[in-house]
Amino acid sequence: SQTIHQWPATLVQPVGSPLSLECTVEGTSNPNLYWYRQAAGRGLQLLFYSVGIGQISSEVPQNLSASRPQDRQFILSSKKLLLSDSGFYLCARSYGPGYTFGSGTRLTVV
């Protein structure tokens, strides 16, 4: 199983508050993990990817950060949320020549 667990499913946070979204994966060890954001009516934007513990690559400089404290755990964080951080966040893992996606978190910053 290459299942991805992502939570929470829905989150409403005030501007300026911190954020922590967690993604955990099952299956083969040392997976490549990814965080994507999808703004309303838009495509998927790659935010971060990780090829191993402590290894994070950022694709888009912004108000967010990512960490990988354990092999199967990938966390997306922010110290102070902005209105523009609202969107749908998807965690994914590469599995051979394919991706498995989590069920996503819908974040609304108010």
Partner 1 sequence: AQTVTQSQPEMSVQEAETVTLSCTYDTSESDYYLFWYKQPPSRQMILVIRQEAYKQQNATENRFSVNFQKAAKSFSLKISDSQLGDAAMYFCAYASPNTGNQFYFGTGTSLTVIP
CB of 91 to partner 1, least distance (A): 11
The secondary element (H helix, E strand) that includes residue 108 is strand 105-109
CB of 45 to partner 1, least distance (A): 8
Q: Which stretch binds partner 1 (CB under 8 A): 16-24, 67-75, 76-84, 87-95?
A: 87-95
| The binder of partner 1 chosen from 42, 63, 70, 79 (CB under 8 A) | 42
